[in-house]
Structures are given as C-alpha cells and as structure tokens.
Amino acid sequence: MTRHLSTVRDLASMIDSGARVAVPPDYSGCAMAAVRELIRRGVRDLHLIGVPQAGFQADMLIGAGCVGTVESAAVTIGEYGPAPRFVAAVKAGAVRVLDSTCPAIHAGLQAAEKGIPFMPLRGILGSDLVAHRDDWRVIDNPFGEDDPIVALPAIRPDVALFHAGVADRFGNVWIGVRRELMLMAHAAAATLVTVEEIVDDDLLADERTAAGTIPALYVTALAKAPMGARPIGLGERYPADDGHLRRYVELARTEEGFRRYLDEFVLAGEVPA
Amino acid sequence: MTRHLSTVRDLASMIDSGARVAVPPDYSGCAMAAVRELIRRGVRDLHLIGVPQAGFQADMLIGAGCVGTVESAAVTIGEYGPAPRFVAAVKAGAVRVLDSTCPAIHAGLQAAEKGIPFMPLRGILGSDLVAHRDDWRVIDNPFGEDDPIVALPAIRPDVALFHAGVADRFGNVWIGVRRELMLMAHAAAATLVTVEEIVDDDLLADERTAAGTIPALYVTALAKAPMGARPIGLGERYPADDGHLRRYVELARTEEGFRRYLDEFVLAGEVPA
Amino acid sequence: MSDYRAEELLIDVIAAMLEGLGHVAVGASSPIPGAAALLARERSDGGMRVSVLGSRRHNFFTDGGRELFDCAAQGRIDAFFLGGGQIDGQGNINLVGIGDYPRSKVRFPGSFGSAYLYFLIPRVILFRQEHNRKILVPKVDFISAPGVSDANVYRPGGPHALVTGRCVFRFDKPRRRFALATIHPGHTIEEVRDETSFDFDTPDSIATTPAPDAETLTLLRGPVAEALAETYPDFAARVFGELVTR
Amino acid sequence: MSDYRAEELLIDVIAAMLEGLGHVAVGASSPIPGAAALLARERSDGGMRVSVLGSRRHNFFTDGGRELFDCAAQGRIDAFFLGGGQIDGQGNINLVGIGDYPRSKVRFPGSFGSAYLYFLIPRVILFRQEHNRKILVPKVDFISAPGVSDANVYRPGGPHALVTGRCVFRFDKPRRRFALATIHPGHTIEEVRDETSFDFDTPDSIATTPAPDAETLTLLRGPVAEALAETYPDFAARVFGELVTR
C-alpha cells in the first residue's frame, strides 16, 4: 500500500546512490523539491533516465555530481538555453551519456510495462545513436524478408520520480493527459511522487477523474510538497519562475557560479515559492 | 476531419463486406444499432476481431451469416450462457476461428498502434493456440540465450466500431477508463462510433475530460444513436435488457429461433430502447 | 453438519491459500474466487489489494483492457484463478472445446487470458466446482494453457492447487502432477478416485478440509457478501442471503 | 522592398510546402514552422489539422509523450520540421554535438525524436534560419538522423526541403543531395555558395522566393499571430506585434 510520508526528505531518502531514476521533462511535472533533497544528501552515481528528455533537474543533479549516467533523448532547459552543467560535464567526460531518441525511451519503458525483454521500433537505423548504443540490437523482422529493425531492451527504472497536482488519501495520483508519468510508474520498480495537495477523496470512484489517474497500486510513496516543481512550472497550476531560471543559467555557466547557486538555493536555503 | 453522419445506417454503410472489424466486448460499449444495420444490409465475410473478446454482437453477426472469420480470445455472452450461433457455426465449420488470448489481441493492436510489424509477448508457449496460429512465430529473444518468446504480428483492423456515451461537435469521443477503445482507434485505419449524445463543447479543452477522450484525429465518422448499445448495457448509463437477452439466448438455440429473432428485432423492427 | 453452505467452505479454503499476499486479481464470472479474495482481504488488516474484473468499486485499473496483463507481467499480481472445461493431471487447462479442433463437438467460449496469466502469476489456483471424469481428464483435448513448461521457458507462474467441490489437490511442480491434499466433509477418497480420470498422488494421510469457523462465516455473510453483491448480486443473495442474520 | 519581415517570408514559403496536407505536426521551440503550419491551416478551409507541441489549445494528443511518435508511425502525420546544429549535403542532421563523440567540443541538447520522425513522416522540412559553412557542412560529425537509407530500410518518410534564411533547397531523393530551388529577395547565388560548405545541384534558372502577398500578411498578423501567441508569446509579439494594424 502507498506510504504517505510527512516530508519530501523522507521521500527522497528512498532513492539510493546508483539508482536508475526516471524523470519527466520540465513540462510534465518535476519533483524539484525532492531533487534538492537528493543534492543535499549527496547521492552519487544516479542513472538518470529522461522520459523522453530531461531538463533543469538533470542539469542541477549533474552539476552537483549526483549523476553517473544520463540516458535521454536530450538534456535541455528549452528557451533558457543549453543546459550548462550538462554541457560542461560532457566536455569534461564527467558523465556518461546514453544518447537516445524520444520514441526509443517510450518504447523501452513500454517493454518494461509489458514485461517483455525488448520492443522493436521502426526508424533509427543508420543513426549514429545505434552505433554508440551497444545495448541496442538490429534484428530481422521475423515477419519480413531482408527487413532490419531495431530491438530496444526494456528500460526498467528502479524509481520513477515526479511531481503532480493532486493525490488522494489512498495514494491514487491524478496526472490528466500526462500519461508518460503513468508509463513511468508502470515500468518502474518504485514510484515516488510529490504533490501539491492530498484530497480526502477517491480519485478512482468517479470515472471522470479515474481516466487520468495512476492507481495507488503503482505508487510506492507520496509526500506533499506545495509549489514542489518550482522554480519550473506545473501545468496550468503555476508557471516557471522565469527570473530564477534565467539567473540559474547565468550562474551555472561556471562551476563557481553553480556552487554559489547551490549554496544559496539548495544547501543553505530553498527556492522561493 | 470527422464526418458527422445523420443516421446509423450511413455510418454502417462505411463497413464493406470482407472488412476487418475490431469490436469491444459486451461491457465496453458495443454499437448494436450499427450491427443491426450491417445485418439488414447483408454484409458478408467480415473478419471480426474481439478486443479482446466478443459477445452478443459477434453471435448475432455470425448467426446472420455476416462473418467469415472471428479472431478473439473468446466469444461469450457471459452470464447468459454460451453464444449459441457461434457454437453452432463452429460445429458446422461455417466460421473460421482464430483463437487467441486477451493479451495477444492487445499486443497485436499495440504493434499496429506503434507501427511496428510485431510485438513480442511472454507466456503462451506450449499452448495449442500457438500450434494453430500459423501467423504467430516463436523467436529467440535477441537479448537472451536459449530464451524463446512468441512474436505476434500487428493487428491492423480496417475498422474499429463501438458505441460511447458522449462525443463533441469536433468529433472527440469520451471513453473514460475504457482505453481499449482508444487502442482500437489508434490501431484501426478507420474508426466508426455511435454515441448517446453529441455535446456542443470541446472535450479536449478541459484536461479533466481530455484525459479520457479519443481525439477526433482518430475518429473517421460519428452518428448519434440514443440507447445504441441496447439490448446490452452501456457503463453507468444503462444496464443490459436482461429479459431481451434471455429471450435471445433461448431463441438462438436453433437456427429457426434465431431467424424469428432477426425477423422481429432486426429485419422488420428494432430492439426496444 | 454445521450451518454453512458448500460454497462457503470452498471460499474459505481458497481464501486460506491467499494469506499474506499483496495483490490478488479475480477474473470474470468467478463469484467463489471473488468471495475468497474479498475474505482474504478482510483478514489481511489492510495489507491485501483485490482487483475484481467486472467490478466498478473493486477494480483499480485505468489503462484499458491490457492493464491486467501488463500488471501481471510486471510481477504486481500474486494470485489469480483459472478454471477449465477440461483440466488434466499435468495441470493443462482447456477453455476451447471438446473433440477435434477446430470443429469441436462442444465449443467453450475460448482461452481468454489463461495462456498468459498462467505463466506470469506466481500462484494460480485452479477452481472448478463440478468434479467428474469428463472434466478432470487424463489429457485435455486442447491446451489453452499448459500446466508446466520446459526449463528454458520464462515462467514465474503456474498452478498452485486445484479446488473442486469434492477436494483440494496441490500441484507438485517438480513431479508435474497433482497430489490430493484434503477432502471436503461429506466426501470420500473413493469418490474422488472414481470421479477423477487423471492420475494423482495420494499421501498416506488425507485430512478433511476444515469447515469455516464462526468468525469466517460472520465475515462472509457481512462485509464479503456486501462487497461481492456489487458484481455478483444473484450469487451473493443465493449463497449468503438467507443465512444473513442481521 | 515591401513591408514584411524576413520571418514572414520564411513562414510563407514553408506554408506553401504544406498545402493540401491533412495533418501537420510541429515540434518544440519551432515558432517559424509553427506559424507556417498555422498559416497553411488558415488557408485550408478547415481541411488541415495542426498539432503544436507545447501548445495546450493546438495539441490533440491524450496518450502521453509517445502519442506523437505512434501517430507518425500510423501514417497520420503528413509533415514535420527538423533542424540541426549541423546539416550536411546528404540530408543528415546532427543534434548531438561537434567534435569527437562522446566528448563533443560543442554539445547540443540531443537527438530528440529526429532519429524516428525523419523515417516515418513523408514530408520532413528541414529548417534552420542561420545559414553558414559551420552549419551546412559536407558531413555531420554525428548523424542524429540520416537523410537517406538503404532500399531495404522501412522508410516512408524523409527530407523534402531545406529552408534557411538565405534560400530554399529541395531534396532530390534519387540523387541523395540538395538542389537549390529559390533564393530569398536580397540574397544572391554567390552568397549561398560561399556560405554553404556542402555540394548541391544548381538548376539553370533559379527563381527568387516570392514575397508574401497582402492577404498572407493579413492572415499572419491576424489569426496566425493570435494562435501562435499562446505557445510563442515573445516571438509573436516581436515578429507580428509592431506591424499589426488593428
């Protein structure tokens, strides 16, 4: 049954160094408060999986030295420019990048969701991605003739970590049309969620809300974190804190600046809501 | 763009003899009014695909001689007993049965949804289903060693046909948690839907309804058919007409009784709402 | 003879096999396994989740028809129930038909999800209330789902026991056959032998299936009956209705 | 020189390539392709659907992040747009980095969905406003997605054209290379040659890219600007804002 934890710190403590952690992109609900807890705790060697890409949280975790491998179709903070700590870590060889492509991430998670060892996928052949991914195979379509197709191994995260608007007291989490979060939860061994609010209700009782709900069955633990996605935004609830993110990008151009950012907003303080 | 048709007959006229038609089970919204139109028109040689099983509509269509092949994990009218016309047609060799298993139907449709030629699936090995399905293959898991796995070809219906509660004027169809209907719509070349009501609204505009909505992009044509699932039920809207179904099962035990049923409720009349 | 129905004994004996599990799923048209799962849940002190197909209230799936199967493949379902028009001594089940396939003399609805779930769910309990030589056969006419697989076949799941109206057989996986475990009150080993046409092992001492105790009957006729009635109103009324003392 | 912005010409020329299509999808961070798709939709008399990633109002997907890709594989998307940190003369695009992979000297965000959509969407329009020898290279340092594939590779899709701030190249699939199509007003063929470091074909006569007409500008600065502003408010204000006459 879903554990209701009283602090985000308790939730983040369930992620060990070395864990394979699936995270959403910046527009799909990121558990930033939990990410800051991970940095404070100094976890190491995470295998971060961007579903299908990763943004601000990846850049911060990489900059803070928490990440050993990032597996993603992209690392980007979008309109704010290149992800500075990611770019620096790549140049320094400080992080292993498993470059992927969006549908390959989704397909790998779907393979895990279905409990199958691999998923075939069209396209990709001839991309240098294939050349550099020794965990991918090119096989013959058993229903075709001279018809090569990429076989992608299942992606089975240890943890899916994200932030959502509403959960109920049973542990059901409403995600609306952000069904990549449901796919993450199905595929992952454990799913940890921070939410804006926990309602005294049953989201599955009404089919109108059930249609956009991850059942508690897949939700390992929950913690309430109001404004928990800040400084990035959360769907229609609140926008990103533009000024804060621009300042981050500016500071994180250098290692020193990034350290100053961490000191101010992670280690000594908190991001303003 | 989705065509709004004025009659169920117009909708049913889009299904040709020989078409591969995917239909839901009795509990997931069956377009019975459209099925009666197909029988009136005397379509032939349908390849009916139960997603993942088929019920009352399959029995009627088989009895009326509309079906050449039925591909399904089961044909059953549940508590009302064995499907009488299906059973009779099997004994007479009058219908080809592609016996399947629920997850194989879902996986085949998912392969079509993903545009991949096949989907691997665990289980099934050693079942006589495999022995009798020469369109299925057993392959080696390319990521394993001496690890056989079933490869199921994509199931690409020509038509997905079902009944739902609400559509909007743009052609979006609300299906709630009945996402096998969405899978059918994604997998099929054309999707034909009858609905209880068409609202002057946009189901995609509000994320709460969008989460359970098939976008119009996948909906080829719509027709309004109040009580269009009768004599079976539709979710929480209305229950099955128990008396009517019991009478059907009684009559359909014999070819003559089935003909009488057809005469009374399909050819000369309509099922009471 | 105490004041309980045959179904209540079957529900109780199945529920005992579910003790300690985290998630039990129940397929369609399965009132006795459904009641057993709900009884086990009542006893679990909130530790067990039960998913009843066809239920609106006891069904936690939101990803369409495939979710039950995906969920099983993810290892999130601990027990499930299967039946069979025929069941043989190797645990093979037949949900397709009797006679030469495809033109079966007797045609059943079809294999449903059995060919999959039997492989993936660790504890599959076979249940068939009728117990006679036509059902419990030496070899099924059509294997919807095999009881055992070769060593190289991925198979975390399989048969755990076979519960009938007369007795309980445990499935012995290494020996690939059933062993008689308990015989229900009022039935005999001779009767079980007569009515079973497959070979099975018979330990030296065979116990009688324990009758449901008063506490169990209270649970059954109270919260279990109530929860079950949503999906199986007729069954709940017939089996628990007349005996409910409230 | 008429009263339009460079972006408006690019939008118009891309929109012309979308005429008659049923469904055009636009990826993230693509205001000019987005505006082009919305313009083409305005002209389509209700016949074209446009899906803008990142938009709430112009996005019809309800099955999560995978749906765009599944939808493309189903053949339901007729056109899409890709860019590239490098684009080469065979239509290969590089969204990963410059220099030796994996320790790229310049690292871009990553390949996103390009390695897939480039294969599956019939009409992929490459767009990069900057046009210089560092971007348009003889051979990309990393092939995120190849421009052409061997005959046995399943590939209904591929490059249709490359639109830059200076000109339009059409992709010649049999010849596996670009051919210069039109040069934008104010630019010259010499300039295009100087700023392009891959080889391309040059037909005998090269037309000037037509300037957007008054009707187009009215659509752009009216309904297109309004629709685009939801997703790209800054771009819409900057490009269309000052010229809007209402």
pLDDT (tens digit per residue) in D165-202: 999 999 999 999 999 999 999 999 999 999 999 999 99
Please identify, among A135, A153, A171, the residue that sits at the C-terminal boundary of a domain: A153
Q: Residue C62 and residue A186: Cβ atoms within 8 Å?
A: no
Name which of A118, A143, A176 is nearest B117 (Cβ-Cβ): A143
- pLDDT tens, residue by residue, B216-273: 999 999 999 999 999 999 998 999 999 999 999 999 999 999 999 999 999 998 888 8
Cβ contact A–B (≥3 pairs, < 8 Å): yes
User: Nearest CA to CA, how far is B124 from chain D (Å)?
Assistant: 26
Q: Residue A126 and residue D29: Cβ atoms within 8 Å?
A: no
Residue D23 near residue D80 (C-beta atoms within 8 A): no
DSSP string, B116-156: -SEEEESS-TTSHHHHH-TT-EEEE-TTSSS-EEEEEE---
Residue D225 is encoded by which pair of tokens? 């600007």
CA distances (Å), origin C10, targets A165, C15, C138, D34, D183: 45, 8, 24, 64, 83
Report the pLDDT averaged over residues C107-120. 98
Q: Residue B186 and residue D75: Cβ atoms within 8 Å?
A: no
Cβ neighbours of D101 in A, within 8 Å: 128, 132
Does B108 reside within a domain?
no
- pLDDT tens, residue by residue, B15-71: 999 999 999 999 999 999 999 999 999 999 999 999 999 999 999 999 999 999 999
Residue A63 near residue A87 (C-beta atoms within 8 A): no
If we measure between CA atoms, which residue out of C85, C17, C52 comes closest to residue C236? Answer: C52
- pLDDT tens, residue by residue, A126-171: 999 999 999 999 999 999 999 999 999 999 999 999 999 999 999 9
Residue B108 near residue B92 (C-beta atoms within 8 A): no
Query: Residue D243 above 90 pLDDT?
Result: no
Nearest CA in chain A to B114: A121
Q: Residue D75 and residue B115: Cβ atoms within 8 Å?
A: yes
Considering the domain architecture, whether residues A162 and A35 belong to the same structural domain is answered as yes
Does A108 reside within a domain?
no
User: Nearest CA to CA, how far is B143 from chain C (Å)?
Assistant: 13
Considering the domain architecture, whether residues A85 and A134 belong to the same structural domain is answered as no
Q: Is B236 on the interface with A (CB under 8 A)?
A: yes
Residue A145 is encoded by which pair of tokens? 């003739």
Nearest CA in chain B to C104: B91
If we measure between CA atoms, which residue out of C194, C240, C188, C189 comes closest to residue C217? Answer: C240
CA distance linking residue C19 with residue A14, whole number of Å: 28
CA distance linking residue C83 with residue C29, whole number of Å: 10
Considering the domain architecture, whether residues B197 and B257 belong to the same structural domain is answered as yes
Q: Is A146 on the interface with B (CB under 8 A)?
A: no
User: Nearest CA to CA, how far is A101 from chain B (Å)?
Assistant: 15
CA distance linking residue D52 with residue D28, whole number of Å: 8
Does B272 reside within a domain?
no
Residue D141 near residue D177 (C-beta atoms within 8 A): no
Considering the domain architecture, whether residues A144 and A159 belong to the same structural domain is answered as no
Considering the domain architecture, whether residues B127 and B249 belong to the same structural domain is answered as no
If we measure between CA atoms, which residue out of B78, B61, B97 comes closest to residue B25? Answer: B78
Report the pLDDT averaged over residues C88-109. 96
pTM metric for this prediction:
0.97
Name which of D23, D47, D75 is nearest B217 (Cβ-Cβ): D23
Residue A226 near residue A271 (C-beta atoms within 8 A): no
Q: Which residues pair with C80 in a beta bridge?
A: C124
Give the pLDDT score at D60.
86
Pairing of strands A221-224, A213-214: unpaired
Considering the domain architecture, whether residues B26 and B133 belong to the same structural domain is answered as no
If we measure between CA atoms, which residue out of A206, B100, A215 comes closest to residue C51? Answer: A215
CA distances (Å), origin B67, targets B45, B160, B185, B257: 5, 15, 21, 19
The residue ranking higher by pLDDT, B265 or C28, is: B265
Q: Is A28 on the interface with B (CB under 8 A)?
A: no
* Residue from C21, C60, C62, C154 to probe the interface with A (highest A Cβ count within 10 Å): C62
φ/ψ (deg, to 5) at A134? -75, 0
Give the pLDDT score at B78.
86
Cβ neighbours of A28 in D, within 8 Å: 65
Cβ neighbours of D57 in B, within 8 Å: 205
* Residue from D86, D117, D154 to probe the interface with A (highest A Cβ count within 10 Å): D154
Give the pLDDT score at B273.
80
* Residue from B134, B143, B203 to probe the interface with A (highest A Cβ count within 10 Å): B143
Considering the domain architecture, whether residues A15 and A30 belong to the same structural domain is answered as yes
Residue C7 is encoded by which pair of tokens? 């179904």
CA distance linking residue C71 with residue B171, whole number of Å: 32
Query: Residue C245 above 50 pLDDT?
Result: no
If we measure between CA atoms, which residue out of A138, A136, A216, A229 comes closest to residue A174? Answer: A216
Angle made by CA atoms A52, A57, A58, in degrees to the nearest 5: 60
Query: Residue C16 above 70 pLDDT?
Result: yes
Residue A166 is encoded by which pair of tokens? 């509403």
User: Nearest CA to CA, how far is B105 from chain A (Å)?
Assistant: 13
Q: Residue A123 and residue D54: Cβ atoms within 8 Å?
A: no
Cβ neighbours of B144 in A, within 8 Å: 117
Q: Cα B112 to chain center, whole Å?
A: 16
SS3 call for C169: strand
Does B106 reside within a domain?
no
Considering the domain architecture, whether residues B255 and B181 belong to the same structural domain is answered as yes
Cβ neighbours of A124 in D, within 8 Å: 115-116, 119
Q: Which residues pair with B54 in a beta bridge?
A: B75
Give the pLDDT score at D2.
61
User: Nearest CA to CA, how far is A29 from chain D (Å)?
Assistant: 13
Name which of C65, C73, C150 is nearest B122 (Cβ-Cβ): C73
CATH number for the domain spanning A61: value is: 3.40.1080.10
Q: How many CB pairs under 8 A join B and C?
A: 139
Q: Neighbouring chains of D at 3+ CB pairs within 8 Å? A: A, B
Cβ contact C–D (≥3 pairs, < 8 Å): no
Q: Residue A123 and residue D103: Cβ atoms within 8 Å?
A: no
Q: Residue C64 and residue B75: Cβ atoms within 8 Å?
A: no
Q: Neighbouring chains of C at 3+ CB pairs within 8 Å? A: A, B
Q: Cα C95 to chain center, whole Å?
A: 14
Does B105 reside within a domain?
no
Considering the domain architecture, whether residues A47 and A167 belong to the same structural domain is answered as yes
For residue A126, the enclosing domain spans: 119-153
Residue D196 is encoded by which pair of tokens? 């392009």
Q: Which residues pair with C52 in a beta bridge?
A: C26
Q: Is B208 on the interface with A (CB under 8 A)?
A: yes
Any residues with CB less than 8 A from the CB of B97 and at least 6 apart, and which? B69, B70, B71, B72, B90, C102
If we measure between CA atoms, which residue out of B175, B223, B232 comes closest to residue B55? Answer: B232
Does B35 reside within a domain?
yes
CA distance linking residue D67 with residue D61, whole number of Å: 6
Give the pLDDT score at D244.
44
Does B109 reside within a domain?
no
Does B111 reside within a domain?
no
CA distance linking residue A188 with residue A159, whole number of Å: 5
Pairing of strands A46-50, A67-72: parallel
Question: Which amino acid would we find at residue B208?
Answer: R
CA distance linking residue D74 with residue B115, whole number of Å: 5
Give the pLDDT score at C1.
42
CA distance linking residue D66 with residue D55, whole number of Å: 16
User: Nearest CA to CA, how far is B71 from chain D (Å)?
Assistant: 22
Q: Is C23 on the interface with A (CB under 8 A)?
A: yes
Q: Neighbouring chains of B at 3+ CB pairs within 8 Å? A: A, C, D
As a whole number of Å, the end-to-end CA separation of chain A is: 31
- The three state secondary structure string of chain A is CCEEECCHHHHHCCCCCCCEEEECCCCCCCCHHHHHHHHHHCCCCEEEEECCCECHHHHHHHHCCCEEEEEECCEECHHHCECHHHHHHHHHCCCEEEECCHHHHHHHHHHHHHCCCEEEECCCCCCHHHHHCCCCEEEECCCCCCCEEEEEECCCCCEEEEEEEEEECCCCEECCCCHHHHHHHHHCCEEEEEEEEEECCCCCCCHHHHCCEECHHHCCEEEECCCCCCCCCECCCECCCHHHHHHHHHHCCCHHHHHHHHHHHHHCCCCCC
Tell me which H or E stretch contains C124.
strand C123-128
- pLDDT tens, residue by residue, B181-218: 999 999 999 999 999 999 999 999 999 999 999 999 99
Nearest CA in chain C to B148: C153
Nearest CA in chain C to B94: C103
- pLDDT tens, residue by residue, D218-232: 999 999 999 999 889
Question: Which amino acid would we find at residue B183?
Answer: L
Residue B141 near residue B112 (C-beta atoms within 8 A): no
Any residues with CB less than 8 A from the CB of B194 and at least 6 apart, and which? B8, B11, B31, B33, B34, B162, B163, B164, B222, B223, B224, B225, B228
Identify the segments of chain A with pLDDT beneath 50. none
φ/ψ (deg, to 5) at A31? -85, 70
User: Nearest CA to CA, how far is A114 from chain C (Å)?
Assistant: 5
CA distance linking residue B139 with residue B147, whole number of Å: 8
Check the CA dihedral A31-A37-A39-A42 and report its sign. negative
Q: Cα D176 to chain center, whole Å?
A: 18
Give the pLDDT score at C56.
78
Q: Is B246 on the interface with A (CB under 8 A)?
A: no
Q: Cα A135 to chain center, whole Å?
A: 21
Domains contained in chain A, number: 2
Q: Residue C47 and residue A1: Cβ atoms within 8 Å?
A: yes
Q: Residue C108 and residue B82: Cβ atoms within 8 Å?
A: yes
Query: Residue D1 above 60 pLDDT?
Result: no
Q: Which residues pair with A51 in a beta bridge?
A: none
Cβ neighbours of B151 in A, within 8 Å: 142-143
If we measure between CA atoms, which residue out of A126, A83, A120 comes closest to residue A103? Answer: A120
Cβ neighbours of B23 in C, within 8 Å: none
Residue B10 is encoded by which pair of tokens? 């117009």
Residue B225 near residue B5 (C-beta atoms within 8 A): no
Name which of A99, A147, A177 is nearest D62 (Cβ-Cβ): A177
Q: How confident is the model at residue C59 (pLDDT cuts 50, 70, 90)?
A: confident
Considering the domain architecture, whether residues B26 and B160 belong to the same structural domain is answered as yes
Check the CA dihedral B80-B84-B87-B90 and report its sign. negative
CA distance linking residue D34 with residue D36, whole number of Å: 5
Considering the domain architecture, whether residues A74 and A177 belong to the same structural domain is answered as yes
Question: Is the interface score ipTM higher than 0.95?
Answer: yes
Q: What is the DSSP letter of B264?
A: I
Considering the domain architecture, whether residues B200 and B259 belong to the same structural domain is answered as yes
Cβ neighbours of B139 in A, within 8 Å: 142
Give the pLDDT score at C159.
98
Report the pLDDT averaged over residues C98-105. 94
Residue D32 near residue D127 (C-beta atoms within 8 A): yes
Q: Residue A119 and residue B116: Cβ atoms within 8 Å?
A: yes
Nearest CA in chain A to C57: A205
Give the pLDDT score at D245.
39
Query: Residue C161 above 60 pLDDT?
Result: yes
- pLDDT tens, residue by residue, D35-74: 999 999 999 999 999 999 888 778 889 999 999 999 999 9
Side-chain half-sphere exposure of B14, counting CA atoms within 13 A: 24
